[in-house]
Amino acid sequence: MIERLDPISQFYRMHLPNGCIEKNTLTADCPFCLQNGREAAGKLIVFLNRDGFFHGYFRCLNRCVPGGFPLWFARIAGIDPVEAPGFDPDREPFLLQADYPTRNINTEIKNYQDRMTPDILARFQQADVAATALSEMRIGFNGRYIVYPYIQNDGNCYSARCVFPDKTGDFFWHGDERFFSERFQLFNVQDIERCENGTLFLCEGEDNLLTLKQLGFPGIAVPDCQTLEAIDPDRFAFVNTLFIVMVNNAESEAAARSVAARVGYKVRLFNWPGGLSRNYSLWQLARDKDRNFRTVVSSMITTSRAFSPFASPKREEIRFFDRLDQETGDEYGALCSGFEKLDTALEGIHGINVIGGAPKVGKSSFMIQIATEMAGKGVPVLYYDFENGRQRIYQRTLSRLSRLSLQRIRMKDWSEPERQRYDQACRDFKKMLFSFRVINDRKLTPEIMRRHIDFIRHETRSEYTVVVIDSLHKLPFKDLSERRSGIDAWLRQFESIRDELQVSFLVISELTRGVEGSYKETPHLGIFKGSGDIEYSADNAMVLFPDWEQMERNTERSNLLWLVASREHSPGLIGRYALDYPYWGFIEKQETGEKPKK
């Protein structure tokens, strides 16, 4: 009954009739040994544990042919592939686009194999790698360097990596230069085809792969972790499980995870236990464990974890409740603008907040005041300025803190109260600068912004950061003709940074003119200039609406701040903000209920 439910066992029992099964392993006389010039048939074993990763994997103990899975067995045994479990007549194999030359270095590789010395063989024996495994992999010696042949899919060798024994940094490539590129740097690449519908190892370093080949496992290797980036994930389209085994260091682990993300669910990563030295490898493990190496590798296979792009449910639980606890803390509560009505309406400065306004209504001054007030309370603030310049931002801040006009500050003919206010403002300004950074980089990219955020978080020991963009429409774009798509791309980056790094954004946006060429229309999402993504990206979209006659010099210059859209809060009038002339600040008025003029 079990055999009828297991096509793979049936397949091997049919084509190895003299075999016997014991403990989920079929042992039979190898049908390939005599065909490959061996004096007598050795033993061929097949793993039939249906719950294991290597169900259906066969190998000859004489190493007369490379091991593999049923489709490979059928191919080398001359069996109609239709009889092999898992055969798909519509499956198109991966074809590397390459023009293989007529000239190869096969003869040289054979000569290098014949030049192996007792000392080199003894070196491999330290990791329990026998001469038979070296012969199977066609590894040789040129008198100074170990030669690892990089045989291609057509069965020929056009390039080889020559490595000085135990000095991995001392190597060179030999052969046809066209095959020195990274896309050809897969050692034992033919095992991919042999492992169709099965399991394969991908190792960093040829020697590490050799330790697995000695145990009888199938696998390929790259010379270093950087080469992983050149691997086309389509190469593994028909492999069911891919074990990735890297050297024990952060760079290799990151490279492995990058490949795993591209290959997908079938990847399982070997994890090194803590406490091992940097660059510890399978080669060192084989030397350290000696005869226990097989047991340790088997344990690592069993405990390996499937690569997942998702956090575990437990990790998600911890992250959620940690974040919930943080939002009850003082740091989260300090993310306030300093304007009571604005903070009440938004429950603080969180998420992506876009503020639009007509030209010259004071958007920059309003934002500078909020940013410097927050920085003065110890909140780290990055102010990306493409409008005013660092000196003007600092001058306006000092004027507001000291309540001295810029003219009075420059004159330095102060009364005693003015001097006291100025001295105190200087002290406050100095303290504020620890948490406040102005950036005018016209070559800004999202990656650079992330580095700035990481730096100021580390510098201030803070979990939160506020980023001010002045303004959205003057951010750097690669192509000015694609301004709208560039703005939308930046907004999507802000969303990612907000979620990953707990960053709050204050973003100044321009507005489009109304039907009569003015900015005096009822605030709504459609008046934000040049981006359809603001309505999707912004957590809060606000408009600073002028409520004064610009041509009347003696009228109070005040603006109404409207919340026109929000994910969590009710839209409506937030408050009236009067310009505190000539101190470059705003005062939040107490009266409410005004409606915008139409």
Helix (H, G, I), strand (E, B) or coil at 560: strand
Q: Which of 64, 83, 102 is the last residue of a domain?
A: 83
Are 184 and 65 part of one and the same domain?
no
The CATH number that applies at residue 272 is: 3.40.1360.10
Place of tokens 């135990």: 166
Residue 250 buriedness (CB in 10 A; 0-12 / 13-18 / 19+): exposed
Beta bridge partners of 438: 383
Backbone CA torsion sign across 313, 314, 319, 320: positive
H or E element: which one contains 391? helix 390-402
Measured distance CA(308)–CA(561) in Å, rounded: 45
Q: What is the pLDDT, as a whole number, of residue 179?
A: 94
150 inside domain: yes
Helix (H, G, I), strand (E, B) or coil at 455: helix
Are 190 and 238 part of one and the same domain?
yes
Measured distance CA(123)–CA(117) in Å, rounded: 10
- Please choose, from the candidates 136, 110, 290, the residue with its C-alpha nearest in 3D space to the C-alpha of residue 209: 136
pLDDT per residue as tens, the chain (598 positions): 344 558 999 999 999 999 999 989 999 999 999 988 888 889 999 999 999 999 999 999 999 999 999 999 999 999 999 999 999 988 887 767 778 999 999 999 999 999 999 999 999 999 999 999 999 999 999 999 999 999 999 999 999 999 999 888 899 999 999 999 999 999 999 999 999 999 999 999 999 999 999 999 999 999 999 999 889 999 999 999 999 999 999 999 999 999 999 998 899 999 898 889 999 999 999 999 877 999 999 999 998 888 876 777 887 888 888 888 888 888 898 999 999 999 999 999 999 999 998 888 899 999 999 999 999 999 999 999 998 999 999 999 999 999 999 999 998 889 999 999 999 999 999 999 999 999 999 889 999 999 999 999 999 999 999 999 998 989 987 654 566 678 888 999 999 999 999 999 999 998 887 666 555 666 666 678 766 678 888 999 999 988 876 655 666 789 999 999 999 999 999 999 999 999 999 999 976 454 544 4
Q: What is the pLDDT, as a whole number, of residue 281?
A: 95
Measured distance CA(203)–CA(282) in Å, rounded: 9
Measured distance CA(84)–CA(70) in Å, rounded: 6
Helix (H, G, I), strand (E, B) or coil at 428: helix
317 inside domain: no
Per the CB < 8 A criterion, the answer to whether 202 and 304 are in contact is no
552 inside domain: yes
Are 150 and 254 part of one and the same domain?
yes
96 inside domain: no
| Tokens (6 digits) for 146 | 């170990």
Q: What letter does residue 152 receive in the DSSP assignment?
A: -
- Please choose, from the candidates 50, 59, 150, the residue with its C-alpha nearest in 3D space to the C-alpha of residue 96: 150
What is the full DSSP assignment across 321-346? HHHHHHTTSHHHHT---S-HHHHHHH
What is the full DSSP assignment across 563-585? EEEESSS--EEEEEEEE-TTSS-
Parallel, antiparallel, or unpaired: how do β-strands 167-175 and 352-357 relate? unpaired
Are 488 and 382 part of one and the same domain?
yes
187 inside domain: yes
Are 202 and 301 part of one and the same domain?
yes
The CATH number that applies at residue 53 is: 3.90.580.10
Are 360 and 457 part of one and the same domain?
yes
Are 444 and 295 part of one and the same domain?
no
Measured distance CA(504)–CA(540) in Å, rounded: 11
205: left (phi over 0), alpha (psi -120 to 50) or beta: left
Q: What letter does residue 526 receive in the DSSP assignment?
A: G
Are 451 and 551 part of one and the same domain?
yes
The CATH number that applies at residue 390 is: 3.40.50.300
- Please choose, from the candidates 364, 361, 336, the residue with its C-alpha nearest in 3D space to the C-alpha of residue 576: 361
159 inside domain: yes
597 inside domain: no
Measured distance CA(222)–CA(189) in Å, rounded: 10
- Count up the domains in the chain and report the number: 3
518 inside domain: yes
Measured distance CA(247)–CA(332) in Å, rounded: 41
Beta bridge partners of 543: 356, 562
Q: What is the pLDDT, as a whole number, of residue 519?
A: 58
Measured distance CA(67)–CA(59) in Å, rounded: 4
Strand order in the sheet with 146-151: 140-141, 146-151, 157-164, 167-175
Are 138 and 265 part of one and the same domain?
yes
Per the CB < 8 A criterion, the answer to whether 106 and 230 are in contact is no
Per the CB < 8 A criterion, the answer to whether 477 and 488 are in contact is no
* Distinct helix (H) and strand (E) counts, the chain: 20, 22
| Tokens (6 digits) for 34 | 């005599």
Measured distance CA(491)–CA(468) in Å, rounded: 13
| Tokens (6 digits) for 362 | 């004071």
Are 441 and 549 part of one and the same domain?
yes
Are 404 and 539 part of one and the same domain?
yes
Measured distance CA(61)–CA(39) in Å, rounded: 14
Helix (H, G, I), strand (E, B) or coil at 303: helix
Beta bridge partners of 141: 146
What is the full DSSP assignment across 108-123? HHHHHHHT--HHHHHH
| Tokens (6 digits) for 138 | 């066609």
| Tokens (6 digits) for 201 | 């190892």
Strand segments, DSSP code E, in 96-156 are 140-141, 146-151
Per the CB < 8 A criterion, the answer to whether 216 and 67 are in contact is yes
State the number of CA atoms in the 13 A half-sphere of 532 facing the CB. 1
Are 415 and 462 part of one and the same domain?
yes
Helix (H, G, I), strand (E, B) or coil at 564: strand
Per the CB < 8 A criterion, the answer to whether 448 and 395 are in contact is no
155: left (phi over 0), alpha (psi -120 to 50) or beta: left
Measured distance CA(13)–CA(82) in Å, rounded: 16
Measured distance CA(424)–CA(417) in Å, rounded: 11
Strand segments, DSSP code E, in 194-271 are 199-204, 219-222, 241-245, 267-269
Measured distance CA(227)–CA(285) in Å, rounded: 23
Domain span at residue 183 reads 112-306
Show contacts of 316-319: CB within 8 Å, 24+ apart. none
Measured distance CA(332)–CA(309) in Å, rounded: 29
